[in-house]
Chain A
């Protein structure tokens, strides 16, 4: 090992390497930021009902994902077919699905569905995934908060408010 290395006047070279590395890091960071910015709209995992209503670049002819909250009281089952409404509180989208729903699927819960737009405002899902938010608590605490009337509608939800804005 280099325990007994003689001291050499490497200070300026060290400093130059440090500056070089710093400059490279800045350039690389800027480049990454620009690339990510350019990707911004293409990196969305799902579109919200508002995206579908307002954006013109949502593909209508191929598989896309949509996400939002399952509207309360909207779930209707007919045999293997489930119909429900996905909302982001501003806009709504009717979803039809035949298949097995995840355990976490329930009214008021966030979902992400993959499928196709069949008509304006109607979505035929091939796969429905449940989304949950970052809140974790015991059942008793959730019940207590609900009883006390402090429950925020944004709690226990996901999907709403997560648009494609970085």
Chain B
């Protein structure tokens, strides 16, 4: 199973076929989701209209966790099976996850100010998500810190696996400790505690975020593969004609 997609050429063919569908899904669900969130869904009985921040904040938080999980899975695959494509996918997902985490943190601060009365508190949930953000940044830095790309990949993959400890901590922080952040509303024992009129816009936005993530991931992986091909061509051209300009060598 791992081997089927490990072939970059096969991956590129499949990714090229899937990509337009990802964009279409992101555009449609994003448009519909935003319309539902802003115009159709009701104000909350406690929080009024500020509850609409949820439709951005919660999908961003989900994607922050999902992207990290994906990074960890592909890092494990890359370490065990040594598939170069797995490193590329993990590396491509890291900046995207960092972006979603940043969105989650910023919208969370706005929401916290309106509902709790403060931008930030150092409770277990907020702190563990901030740690996730720094983990993402650390992964970006570590991958680029080595002259040898392969060593950078391996180091980043190991850090990604160690950092995975943080994911269940984030998820269950609100259950294990007394936090200012409220417990989970959707993925909880006893079913969602959100009225369907607010749950459906939220799930629609979640699909939009997921499709958008998939589209960006494919683009990013494609760019990385193209970059490496170009690099290989330049190197090969340089070896054949040491004096010639690399691009000329490629054009022949």
Contact = CB atoms under 8 A, between A and B. Distances in A.
Contacts of A109: 46
A129 to B, nearest CB: 5
Contact of A28 (B165, B169, B197, B198): B165
A112 B180 CA distance: 7
B80 A44 contact: no
B182 A134 contact: yes
A18 B80 contact: yes
A14 B183 contact: no
Given A14-B80, A25-B161, A45-B123, A134 B178 contact: no
Nearest to A141: B195
A136 B54 contact: yes
B176 interface: yes
Contacts of B229: 1
Interface string B73-97: 0001001111010000000000000
B248 interface: no
A75 interface: no
B44 interface: yes
Q: How large is the interface on B (under 10, 10 to 19, 20 to 34, 35 or more residues)?
A: 35 or more
B106 interface: no
Nearest to A48: B178
Interface string A43-63: 111111000000000000000
Contact of A3 (B8, B51, B228): B8
Contacts of B178: 44-48, 67, 162-164
B225 A129 contact: no
A127 B76 CA distance: 45
B39 interface: no
B43 interface: yes
B193 interface: yes
A77 B245 CA distance: 81
B117 A129 contact: yes
A45 B177 contact: yes
Interface string B1-45: 000000111000000000000000000000000000000001111
Interface of B: 7-9, 42-47, 51, 54, 76, 79-82, 84, 114-118, 121-124, 161-162, 165, 169, 175-180, 182-185, 188, 193-195, 197-198, 225, 228-229, 232
8 contacts: A2-B84, A10-B82, A14-B82, A40-B177, A130-B117, A132-B182, A136-B47, A162-B179
